[in-house]
Amino acid sequence: MSAPSNLLAPTKVGIALGDRSYDVVIGAGLLDAAATWSDLPKSAQALVVTNEVVAPLYADVLQRQLSALHNRVDVLVLPDGEAHKDWQTMNLVFDRLLANGADRKSVLYALGGGVVGDMTGFAAACYMRGVPFVQVPTTLLSQVDSSVGGKTAVNHPLGKNMIGAFYQPVRVICDMDTLRTLPAREVSAGLAEVIKYGPIADASFLAWLEEHMEGLVALEPALIAHAVQRSCEIKAAVVGADEREGGLRAILNFGHTFGHAIEAGLGFGTWLHGEAVAAGMVMAADLSERCGLMPAGFADRLRALISRAGLPVVAPALSAEEYLEHMRVDKKSQGGEIRFVLIDKLGSAVMRPAPEALVRQTLAACCQPA
């Protein structure tokens, strides 16, 4: 399976949600192309929400392009990092909207990674009970996952993304050129969310990732464009079938129950989200074997691929009780019972509880010694 070369030209992946349908546009040079912005909502004013790392790189060009759509384009620069995905930072967005006299037609643009995207989307969902917003993801992780599908949230000290809303953007603009400025650690973190799509939905994509991982780490243009497009196609199909995570959409959280526990246990921002998900996928694969769903060797196969992506494959040394406590407040839990996304065959996932004894065995096998 090879990456078609024409993926370097702009392509679109549609998210089919009736009158709330929208496109994910994938291509190079999109930020600086006037045509990218020509048919987006027009309004008297817009607010670009970004962070202190991304703003110096891309805020000016976006502000210039949006001047054709809005009389006033303001830029709000937030502190960078998962540690700031909280109510205090969220209120900075509301403060600016209110100070500017933003109305119900005002448009928000999320320029940055997953934290900026989640917070801007949540602000858009809440301000005046809903204003339009556009996702402009600049990290690999946000392009392949968090910008697509309408999940928005802030963190609570007791749990990740526990306060939020489902609220869809009107467009997602994935400019491949923004990935060139990412640190290697951020590229690897994004590849974690790419890797997850293979085990849960497409065994041939998993094999393709195994064939091309070194090229993906190096951000070879045709390869990374294909990875972004295929990831978005899989997520589009899942979100179109189950927008509000009533069942099927939960499979997109493969590795996330363990991963969110890592983030909360270490303190948000200590590990990148993708790093925590990577270790979490190894743990979920191990648990899939222990539950008899997958044959021996599956976890080792996934561990090898994740390691080649430059990601951690051993979870940090939190106690079993700490892991279990954090996982019990996971959004998939019901009545205090922890439910996991597990693989029952390559390209297929299920969500189900697992015996605590087996979970503890996975923790003992996959974590650093306490």
Catalytic positions, please? 129, 151, 193, 235, 245, 249, 253, 256, 260, 273
- Is 178 assigned a ligand-binding role in the annotation? yes
Local structure of 61: helix, strand or coil? helix
What are the φ and ψ backbone dihedral angles of 67, each rounded to 5 degrees? -65, -20
What are the φ and ψ backbone dihedral angles of 85, each rounded to 5 degrees? -85, 70
The residue length of the chain stands at 370
- Is 84 assigned a ligand-binding role in the annotation? yes
Residue 132: which of 7, 41, 28 has the closest Cα? 41
- Is 138 assigned a ligand-binding role in the annotation? yes
- Is 83 assigned a ligand-binding role in the annotation? yes
State the DSSP string of 302-358.
HHHHHHHTT---SB----HHHHHHHHHTSTT-BTTB-EEEEEEETTEEEEEE--HHH
- Is 177 assigned a ligand-binding role in the annotation? no
- Is 149 assigned a ligand-binding role in the annotation? no
- Is 116 assigned a ligand-binding role in the annotation? yes
As a whole number of angstroms, the distance between CA 43 and CA 103 comes to 9
- Is 191 assigned a ligand-binding role in the annotation? no
- Is 273 assigned a ligand-binding role in the annotation? yes
Q: For residue 257, how many C-alpha atoms fall within 13 Å in the half-sphere facing its CB?
A: 28
- Is 179 assigned a ligand-binding role in the annotation? yes
> Looking up tokens 């400025």, which residue turns up?
181
As a whole number of angstroms, the distance between CA 273 and CA 252 comes to 14
- Is 160 assigned a ligand-binding role in the annotation? yes
- Is 181 assigned a ligand-binding role in the annotation? yes
> Looking up tokens 């294909």, which residue turns up?
226
- Is 362 assigned a ligand-binding role in the annotation? no
194, 242 contact by CB (below 8 A): no
Bind-site residues for NAD(+): 80-85, 114-118, 138-139, 151, 160, 178-181
Bind-site residues: 80-85, 114-118, 138-139, 151, 160, 178-181, 193, 256, 273
Bind-site residues for Zn(2+): 193, 256, 273
